[in-house]
Amino acid sequence: MARANRRLTRASRYGKYAGGPDPLAPPVDLREALDAIGNDVMEGYSPEASLRELLRRGTRDRPGLDDLARRVAERRRELTAKHDLDGTLNEVRRLLDKAVLEERKQLARDVQLDDDSRALAEMQLGALPPSTAAAVKELGDYSWRSTEARQDFERIKDLLGREMLDQRFAGIKRALENADDDDRAAIAAMLADLTALLDSHARGEASQQQFDEFMNTHGKFFPENPQTIDELIDTLAARAAAAARMRNSMSQEQRDELDALASNAFGSPELMSSLSQLDEQLKALRPGADWSGSERMSGSDSLGLGDGTGVFQDIAELDELSEQLSQGYGGSRLDDLDLDALTRQLGDEASADARTLAQLEKALRDSGTIKRASDGTLKLTPKAMRLLGRSLLRDVAHRLSGRQGNRDVRQAGSAGELSGATREWSFGDTEPWDVTRTITNALSRTAGGGAAAGAGIRIEIGDVEVQETEARTQACVALLVDTSFSMAMDGRWVPMKRTALALHTLISSRFRGDDLQLIAFGRAAQVMEIEHLTGLEAEYEKGTNLHHALLLANRHFRRHPNAQPVLLIVTDGEPTSHLESSGEVFFDYPPHPLTIAVAVRELENSMRLGASATFFRLGDDPGLARFIDQMAKRVGGSVVSPELDDLGAAVVGSYLGSRDGSGFGAG
């Protein structure tokens, strides 16, 4: 133990957590994110909108932007409901009342004071106007007998000066507590130099050297430590705009009182003149800041001018965070989010949540699953489709194994003749190794690595490839999916797409010798690539053209005369349209006898080609049930009526059963 401790260096010792993502949190779950995006895409959303939706609602383990925005709004409401803006006026009134009371006590106990002077003084104190500002002005020339009363009255001037300055320069109020003449002179010099610097900047003449000289002289008044004149202006303008909004939020009576009191700040009207000039300069330099807004403050916690300005800065910062979290502007990304501001307003946990969402967004973009197309829109890449398909296939395998004696989709067809193809080994594979490919992979990986002579070849898991086998002859598969509007209306649109993608993934990854054709049929039918089908939007289109879909399926079967035809039909309605010899589509509802007849005829053609047909009937319409049962009976096919959640497992199971001749999936 002692030996281990001696190996710890200063750099490797434990220290305080400095914020950021939780170092003990699991990495972002791309699979969960991709599943969510894929599901939205299948519902008809664009990948861009789907990504925004994912970030908005969050993941299973992390809150999303909506939750952060809710907390920002709650924080804003808390600030406006907690405070009011008469803190400075109340403090001035308290000091004034205390000074008058102490003066009256002194008048009462001063035995050396003649009666006329005492009466005059008491009359002057008793006749003070109710307005705080007017009373302070009237007592400006009063000759105080009480030392304590005089000090309290002087504190009013000192308080007003510090509050006025604290409105423009954060934190200066405390620094100027018990200020003397030298402190006031330093403030006056800073304001004069600042005015000159801003004037020079407005003319385009200010240099970095001039700014550095200003900061070397007056830097103690700027705890934000700006590094350039633009940073200095941004800081001052944000504070001054907040002060303006605070003033706008006051009642007219409060504004009048403060304006009247301002001339007594530090006992000199020059301060207010300098601050007014500074405000005008900043407004001209940063006209885009919110100088005219206001808030209704309905609380009971009185705020002074400086603290109130800080609250209005917080409110402005919360408003900016709300806009950033909305991600509603063009080109918005989570990189735009001000994490420092989020930490200040909501704490480290909120910032960590936002960083995790930003990591998720970046990981999705960097992983090759989402890319920017030439038109600027986001697209799911083929890699994303593969990953999404594998995820769906895992779900199908889980459902099948639970229902069918632990049948593993990955292992289906693993016993039999070698297909000549190989694939990377994955956990659970029992196929024989392809030794040549495995050793070649190991050599390629270690080539140029400088392995010692005679060290041999080290084979790692990633090097291993296995030989694929087939249980029987090649299969020619046609999956016919109903894309009529009723599928979308009744919530069957996404399960249909997920089923197609799961079957496509299974065949393209495990049964590469098989040939799958996806045929979508609504008013008419068409062959679709999987990317087209998964992104297909629902259209209000009357018609279920099973006849046209069967024509395309039979053409597919004829092109593969040596393969075993497998016909899988997913539908929720009877045929209501067919393709005429002219190429026109005929539609009628209720189904026309001719439409039924041509569909049945084409289904019989499938049977003559040797196809095993399975119907997947969705919904509980009795008429549809009778029709499909009759169709299946006519061609020796089977009917499955799965729940939507089991549609993928039913279709994949039927394909596997038809392929190996077990009849699995029928029923």
Q: What is the pLDDT of residues 377-400, one digit of tens each?
A: 667 777 777 777 777 777 787 777
Q: Over 50: is that where the pLDDT of 410 sits?
A: no
Residues 494 and 570 in one domain: yes
Domain termination residue (choose one: 470, 492, 507)? 470
CA angle 356, 362, 364 (to 5 degrees): 105
pLDDT at 231 over 50: yes
Task: Please give the torsion angle defined by the CA atoms of residues 307, 326, 63 and 384, in that order, rounded to the nearest 10 degrees.
Answer: -150
Same-domain status, 466 and 482: no
Do residues 486 and 631 both lie within one domain?
A: yes
The answer to whether residue 526 scores a pLDDT higher than 90 is yes
One-letter amino acid at 394 equals R
Are both 610 and 485 inside the same structural domain? yes
Does 46 score more than 90 pLDDT?
A: no
pLDDT exceeds 80 at position 533: yes
Question: Average of pLDDT values for 117-145?
Answer: 90
CB 590 within 8 A of CB 570: no
Is residue 94 very low, low, confident or very high in pLDDT (cuts 50, 70, 90)?
A: very high
pLDDT at res. 38 = 72
Q: What is the mean pLDDT of residues 121-130?
A: 91
The torsion defined by the Cα of 169, 171, 177 and 181, in degrees rounded to 10, comes to: -30
Domain's final residue, options 230, 253, 285: 285
pLDDT value of residue 175? 63
Residues in the chain: 667
pLDDT surpasses 70 at 149: yes
Between residues 441 and 364, which one has the greater pLDDT?
Answer: 441
Residues 518, 441 share a domain: no
DSSP state letters, 127-168 = T--SSHHHHHHHGGG---S-HHHHHHHHHHHHHHHHHHHHHH
Q: What is the pLDDT of residue 238?
A: 92
Share the mean pLDDT of the chain: 82
pLDDT tens, residue by residue, 320-342: 899 888 877 666 677 788 889 99
Q: Across residues 203-224, what is the average pLDDT?
A: 91
Q: For position 65, what pLDDT does the model report?
A: 86
Give the end-to-end CA distance of the chain in Å, rounded to a whole number: 67
Nearest in space to 623 (alpha carbons), one of 660, 576, 656: 576
Query: pLDDT band at 411, cuts 50/70/90?
Result: very low
Tell me, yes or no, whether 275 and 154 share the same domain. no
Determine the pLDDT at residue 454: 55
**How far is 612 from 101, CA to CA, in rounded Å?**
105
Read off the tokens for 147. 């030392």
Q: Which residues share a beta bridge with 243?
A: none
Residue 82 has pLDDT above 70, yes or no: yes
Domain count, the chain: 4
Tell me the per-residue pLDDT of 438-465, one tens digit each, with 9 for 90 and over.
888 888 877 755 555 556 678 887 888 8
CA dist 201 to 75, 236, 315, 422, 491, Å?
37, 14, 29, 71, 63
Task: Identify which of 647, 48, 74, 59 has the alpha carbon closest to the alpha carbon of residue 346.
Answer: 74
- Pairwise pLDDT comparison (199 vs 49), residue with the higher score: 199
- As a whole number, mean pLDDT of residues 166-185 equals 75
Give the mean pLDDT of 454-479.
77
Q: Are residues 576 and 452 in the same domain?
A: no
In this structure, which amino acid lies at residue 323? E
User: In this predicted model, which residue has the larger pLDDT, 410 or 33?
Assistant: 33
Q: Which of 182-186, 371-375, 570-574, 611-615 has the lowest mean pLDDT?
A: 371-375
Whole-number pLDDT of residue 370? 72
Provide the token pair at 395.
Answer: 């779900």
3-state SS class at 231: helix
Average pLDDT over residues 25-40: 68
Mean pLDDT of 48-60: 77
pLDDT over threshold 70, residue 10: no
In a domain, 290, yes or no: no
Residues 646 and 541 both lie in one domain: yes
Note whether 448 and 463 are same-domain residues: yes
Residue 155 in domain: yes
For residues 631 and 603, state if they share a domain: yes
8 Å CB contact between 613 and 640: no
- Is 70 exceeded by the pLDDT of residue 427? no
Q: Give a yes or no: residue 400 inside a domain.
A: no
CA distance 496 to 482: 8
Q: What is the pLDDT of residue 406?
A: 41
Q: What is the mean pLDDT of residues 253-269?
A: 79
Range of the domain at 91: 80-175
Question: Is 202 a residue whose pLDDT tops 50?
Answer: yes
